A and B are shown apart, each in its own frame.
Chain A
Amino acid sequence: SAVISQKPSRDICQRGTSLTIQCQVDSQVTMMFWYRQQPGQSLTLIATANQGSEATYESGFVIDKFPISRPNLTFSTLTVSNMSPEDSSIYLCSVEFTSGRREQYFGPGTRLTVT
């Protein structure tokens, strides 16, 4: 399987600021997704990152709060805007490759704490 990296791995941010998380894959992928995992909870899909077009957001998530870019087949960013303590979570990107059995793999995650 390919290598998926995320930057930063963790951060502590002040409320009202924004943080951009990067997800990089070392081979081309068909699908990229962003998930949020709040403390002690399961994973919730934020959006599907579409290459060359606007992301597709799930109910409860909006572009102004979580803008996403995907300029090519190996890279995507998620920005958490105007942060509040409720945004403290692990943010994970996942990818699905162009060939094979459509298994999905996750990056190592970004652990965000908002104070």
Chain B
Amino acid sequence: AQKITQTQPGMFVQEKEAVTLDCTYDTSDQSYGLFWYKQPSSGEMIFLIYQGSYDEQNATEGRYSLNFQKARKSANLVISASQLGDSAMYFCAMREVGAGYALNFGKGTSLLVTP
């Protein structure tokens, strides 16, 4: 069964607007971590933000914030004030402590920021 679901294959947003990328997850572990990565066309995976299952506050890193709703098992990424350089693939991933610490990735969302 798919552990990480990203339902938006592609998204468009206008420059300077905010955008939300959806991610839902499935786990029976109590301890887990949720990650978002950006992959530009160069292929590198750029770490954006991390949320631990026990973290009480939503994670924020600059223009990135993670809307963590534990009961709904969702971990949406919010990018504020989009920039042209934000155009890339975005991957949500989960690490379950009971599964050896490796990451399980969603299929990704392609974001295009338009002028």
Size class of the A contact interface (CB-based, 8 Å): 20 to 34
Stretch of B18-26, B39-47, B64-72, B73-81 contacting A (4+ beta carbons < 8 Å): B39-47
Cβ of B1 under 8 Å from chain A: no
In the complex, are the beta carbons of B91 and A109 less than 8 A apart?
no
Closest 6 CB pairs of A and B: A106-B45, A42-B105, A43-B105, A108-B44, A45-B102, A109-B43
**A residues engaging B (CB < 8 A)?**
1, 31, 33, 35, 37, 41-45, 48, 56, 58, 90, 92, 94, 96, 101-106, 108-109, 111
Q: How large is the interface on B (under 10, 10 to 19, 20 to 34, 35 or more residues)?
A: 20 to 34
Cβ of B95 and Cβ of A104 under 8 Å apart? yes
27 A-B residue pairs with Cβ-Cβ distance under 8 Å, sorted by A, are: A31-B101, A35-B103, A37-B43, A41-B107, A42-B91, A42-B105, A42-B106, A42-B107, A42-B108, A43-B103, A43-B105, A45-B103, A45-B104, A48-B100, A48-B101, A56-B100, A90-B43, A94-B45, A94-B103, A102-B95, A102-B101, A103-B35, A105-B47, A106-B37, A106-B45, A106-B46, A108-B43
